[in-house]
Structure formats: C-alpha cells, structure tokens
Amino acid sequence: MKKMLIGSLASSLLLISGCQVGEQHVNIPSVKAEAEVKNYNVNYDLDVHTEGNKVKVTIAMENKTNDPIPLVTNNGQLFLVKLLKKDGTVLEKEIIDQRDRKQILRKEKVSWEVEFEANIDDEVVVESDLLLKSKKYQKYNLESAVQKEPVIASTKKIETPKIAFAPDKKLIYTYEVGKKEGYIQQEFQNFDGNKVQSFSKQNGVRIYSQESDGIYYLSSSDSVGDIDATTFIQKDEMNKIIPYPLVEGSTWTVGKKKYRLSDTNLKVKTPLDTFDDCIEVTEVDKKVTRYYYYQKDIGLVKIKRARSKFLPAKTELQLVEIKDPMKKQEGKEKKVKEANKK
C-alpha cells in the first residue's frame, strides 16, 4: 500500500513539474490585503488566489525587528480565517495553529496556507483574525485584528455528484472499538467530485470513490499529511466495498475475500442513533465473517464479527459521535461574545 500511494504521488508530481504537449498556463487572479501588527514593525500579508470554486489563502508574517516574536496564543490557535458571502453569511472557517513553531525569528518571514471551496457563482469575502496574545512585560503590543480591509474574490459554481455512503462536507466521525479497546476518529477533509478522503491518527488515510458499478475504497496506514490523494488515486487501485445496483444477494470477490450484499433495508442501532435505510455487506475471510453496515447518507455505522457460524456475531466497531468542527467554532465565538457583554 505504501508503494502504491508513494508511486501515485510521484507520478502526479512528475506530471505537474514536467513539460507536456498541449499544456496550458493559466493566470490565476490574485488580490492582497496588507496590514501592520501594532508593535515594532511586523508586517502581515494576506494573499488570495481563486481557481474555479477553490479559494486558496496564504497568510504571511514578516518580523522586521531585531528580536524574535513569541507566538503566545490560546490553545495553540494562531489565525482564524473566514470565507463569507457578501451579505456576511459564513461559508467556511479554518483555524491555523502554531504547530511546532514557538516564535518568529528576527528578520524572518513565515507563511501559512488554507484552502476553501465556495461553490457559488458570486463574489466571496476573505477575513482573518490574529489570535496572538500580548504580554505586558514585553514591548510587543499584538492586536487581535490586523487585516484592514476584507478581500473580495470571484468564484464559480461547479456541479459535482453527491457521493453516496459518505458525508459531503468536513465532519469528524468517532467510533467505539469493541468495549475496552477505546475509540478512533475519522476526519473527512478532502472532497473531489466522486471521491472523499479522510484521515485517522490510528488508521491513516482512507479514500472512498463512487463509480458506475459501486463504491470503491482504499486505505493506507501511511501518514501522507496534507496531501489530497483524491486527485490522483484511480479506480483500479481501489477495492469494491458496495456494488451498484443495490440488489440483495449480489456477490463479488476482492483477492481471497468473498463479499455478499446480504440485506438492503435494515435498521441499525448504535450509541449515536438508530439508523434507517442501512445495507449489510457480509465479508468472508477464511474462518472469520464480518458484517459491515452502511447508511446511504453517512457511510459506515457498524461492524460485527463472527469467528464461527455457531456463535453470535459481536460488535467490533460502532459509530458514537459525528462532530461538525464548524459548529464547534461558532459555539466558541458565541460564548466569547456573551462573556464580553458581561
């Protein structure tokens, strides 16, 4: 699997960097907003590029002083970047954290990047807030907001198919593993047409692809970081996990494993909820039988395992929480505003 992912990635990089017949170079419109942090000459620069429905934001800070600037923040959060409609409606938000960086060295310029998707035929607004704190005993008086003017950029609506058995926006799924083994989180973060990519600290990268004959799946324990693998992973590198059409009794094989669509209309109970319209996929691998339960709008909700046909199947994994990171951030902002009023 490692060789597959790295090989695909290397091929993609060669395509990007090499000269090709018929290659076109497109000038992407760019707009900037500049502001100064009110201290000793620290410049802040916000650069926005748009390409179709993608909005790419680069934030840079340049320390023009002869002293390092400590990055003192709340919860390690450095910037809050917002993408809004012209009427003020928030489309998406991203927090940029300081990661392993604790300071900006003297005369150093550093940058951070985020990417949004604004699937509308209209202009959008990019705003940012600096979340640094100041210390009274230091000479740096760091302000909360450093962007003087909002940045306006044009985007286009691109119609993409809704992939079934997976979310269509950034969500974090939490699964309970057995009863004593703990929990794993699966963070859905990349979406490209018929593909969805998630990342888990425990299990690595997972990609789901909706094809004409079913849903395909690829997993890798390799940590490929922030790489969006949906742009280069192909169907023949993936394994079918759900067949199309959804006909009960359908069978297929993947390597030595045998699969069967054993039910197409189930109610499945988990600690999170009881889900309607679930399907059951049975996997037989040597003497072990697993039952995978998928819900059409959510994806995997439960796995059961049986080591013998004479023993009842036991729950191996089940969904306990679905978290929307955007709503969490909005809740935090509301609490801060209420506290400030008091």
* Whether 309 contacts 320, CB under 8 Å: no
Q: What is the pLDDT of residue 183?
A: 92
Cβ atoms of 268 and 302 closer than 8 Å: yes
Query: Three-state SS for 180?
Result: coil
Question: How far is residue 117's CA from residue 119's CA, in Å, rounded to a whole number?
Answer: 6
Query: Distances in Å between the alpha carbon of 197 and those of 98, 191, 232, 299?
Result: 24, 6, 12, 13
Write the Ramachandran bin of 10: left for phi over 0, alpha for psi from -120 to 50, otherwise beta: alpha
| Residue range 66-111, pLDDT digits in tens | 888 877 776 778 888 999 999 999 998 988 887 777 888 888 998 9
Sheet holding 30-37, edge to edge: 30-37, 42-51, 54-63, 109-117
In this predicted model, what pLDDT tens digit does every residue of 40-54 receive, in sequence order?
567 788 889 988 888
Distances (CA, A) of 6 to 10, 14, 186, 196, 218: 6, 12, 22, 19, 14
Q: How many residues are present in the chain? A: 342
Q: Which residues of the chain have pLDDT under 50?
A: 1-29, 137, 332-337, 339-342
* Token pair of 66 as six digits: 């002869």
- Beta strand 183-192 with 204-211 is unpaired
